[in-house]
Amino acid sequence: MGEPRVLTVDMGERSYPIYIGEGLIDQAGKRFAEHGISLKSPILIVTDENIAAGNHLAHLESSLKQAGFTVSTAIVPAGESSKSLTVFQELVTHALQAGLDRKSTIVALGGGVVGDLAGFVAASYMRGIKFVQVPTTILAHDSSVGGKVAVNHPLAKNIIGAFHQPEMVLYDLNTLQTLPKREVSAGLSEVVKHGLIWDADFVAWCDENAERLLALDPEALGYALYKGCSVKAAVVSKDERENDLRAILNLGHTIGHALEAVAGYKQLLHGEAISIGMVGAARLAVKLGASEQVYTVTKHVLSRVGLPVRLPVDLDTDLIMDAMKHDKKFQEGSMTFIVPVAIGRVEINHSVSASLVREIVEQMKQEA
């Protein structure tokens, strides 16, 4: 087990630590107390059915109870559909009935869905109470940095939300052992993305350690999550000074979001869609003058961690182009793209021609 890795996310007054290691859930009670979480005010744990079926929830509850906390638990259905105002209101009801007050804390035990949902409850209950994240997916390394919390509206994803920084993040690597294989790769997609935008050495490391990552080796996973969180934290905390820097986190997302929309969200996981999107962005970069290697390395490392890198032939090019137009980054024949000019370095290009993007989509379909 040993000592966990610790990363401090620098958000000025609202800075917070991310602990990454094994067995952190069993230490939750101690860490909550250390971080000044009040023993007097009830705590609400929010988790989903899948996670509640394992033993992590029971461990978390007993660790907190042993430390003297009053704990209540709300279990929501697994999946994106729980990020709704309906489930949000149910959680507020639960919080009221459990007597949560201004000094209470809400704990998200789960992936990005539970984190975003419980985080928005914490952001708005009594105009904001404390929030702790205990992520159980690899993808959640992304949502545990930056403070974005939200629920969906039937017409748009993540449209109702807030910025609400957690008090701390306890990333217990043991929880990841039960994660379905497809979710592992999908989560690694954002990990690799953080390398591609910021750190060429880390991209090389992902390539070399792909087998260990897929085998959920705790040492490799811990390092990868630490690096992934570090890059996101660096970008997000610099963003307040360098305007729009945060946009570089959207590498692969312009095409990726369009593919998700056209393929249907059940067909293609978010991480899978942006994997294909990153390959597309790399191709675009080469067209715009980057070395061919940007494309080959991007494609190689993503397939190494089990991700799709080809564009499904059955997706209609017109529909894909239309979906991109809805993505707001599109204006009169040209669009904004995050372009990987080299491995580990991206640029924001505001005038990529839509016809060039169409050409790339077509080419990718031919190779598929």
Which residues have a Cβ under 8 Å from the Cβ of 53 and sit 6 or more positions away? none
Residue in the structure block whose two tokens are 């959207």 = 250
In sequence order, what DSSP letters do the residues of 184-250 get, joined into one string? HHHHHHHHHHHHHHH-HHHHHHHHHTHHHHHTT-HHHHHHHHHHHHHHHHHHHHHHTTSTTGGGGGG
Which residue stretch of 91-99, 251-259, 329-337, 341-349 sits at the interface with a copy of itself (rule: CB under 8 A)?
A: 91-99
Task: Please give the annotated binding residues for NAD(+), written as ranges.
Answer: 112-116, 136-137, 148, 157, 175-178
Residue in the structure block whose two tokens are 């390092």 = 223
247-to-52, 107, 199 alpha-carbon distances in Å: 35, 28, 17
Q: State which of positions 141-170 bind a copy of itself (CB under 8 A).
A: 148, 150, 153-156, 159-163
Q: Is 8 in the site for a copy of itself (CB under 8 A)?
A: no
User: What six digits make up the tokens of 76?
Assistant: 């929501």
Distance of CA 91 to the CA centre of its chain: 22
Q: Decide which of ligand NAD, a copy of itself, none touches 62; Cβ closer than 5 to 8 Å per partner kind.
A: none
Q: Decide which of ligand NAD, a copy of itself, none touches 92; Cβ closer than 5 to 8 Å per partner kind.
A: a copy of itself
What span, in angstroms and rounded, lies between the C-alpha atoms of 167 and 10? 12
Beta bridge partners of 106: 44, 131
Q: How far is the CB of 288 from ligand NAD (least distance, A)?
A: 27
Site string for ligand NAD, 55-94 (x = CB under 6 A): -----------------------xxx--x-----------
Catalytic residue among 253, 283, 299, 304: 253
Beta bridge partners of 109: 47, 134
User: What six digits make up the tokens of 158?
Assistant: 């993540």
Task: Please give the annotated binding residues, written as ranges.
Answer: 112-116, 136-137, 148, 157, 175-178, 190, 253, 270
Q: Is 326 in the site for a copy of itself (CB under 8 A)?
A: no
What span, in angstroms and rounded, lies between the C-alpha atoms of 6 and 90? 34
For ligand NAD, the closer of residues 110 and 222 by Cβ is 110
Nearest to 321 by CA among 333, 309, 312: 333
What span, in angstroms and rounded, lies between the C-alpha atoms of 253 and 305? 18
Q: Is 183 in the site for ligand NAD (CB under 6 A)?
A: yes
Q: State which of positions 106-125 bind a copy of itself (CB under 8 A).
A: 123-125
Q: Is the distance from CB of 133 to CB of 141 less than 8 angstroms? A: no
For a copy of itself, the closer of residues 161 and 218 by Cβ is 161
Q: State which of positions 91-120 bind ligand NAD (CB under 6 A).
A: 110-114, 116
Q: Is 328 in the site for a copy of itself (CB under 8 A)?
A: yes
Q: Is 244 in the site for a copy of itself (CB under 8 A)?
A: no
CA torsion 317-281-260-149 (nearest 10°) is -150
Q: Decide which of a copy of itself, ligand NAD, none touches 161; Cβ closer than 5 to 8 Å per partner kind.
A: a copy of itself
Task: Supply the residues annotated as catalytic.
Answer: 127, 148, 190, 232, 242, 246, 250, 253, 257, 270
Positions touching ligand NAD (CB under 6 A) are: 48, 50-51, 78-80, 83, 110-114, 116, 136-137, 139-140, 142-143, 146, 148, 158, 175-176, 178-179, 183
Positions touching a copy of itself (CB under 8 A) are: 85, 88-89, 92-93, 96-97, 101, 123-128, 148, 150, 153-156, 159-163, 328
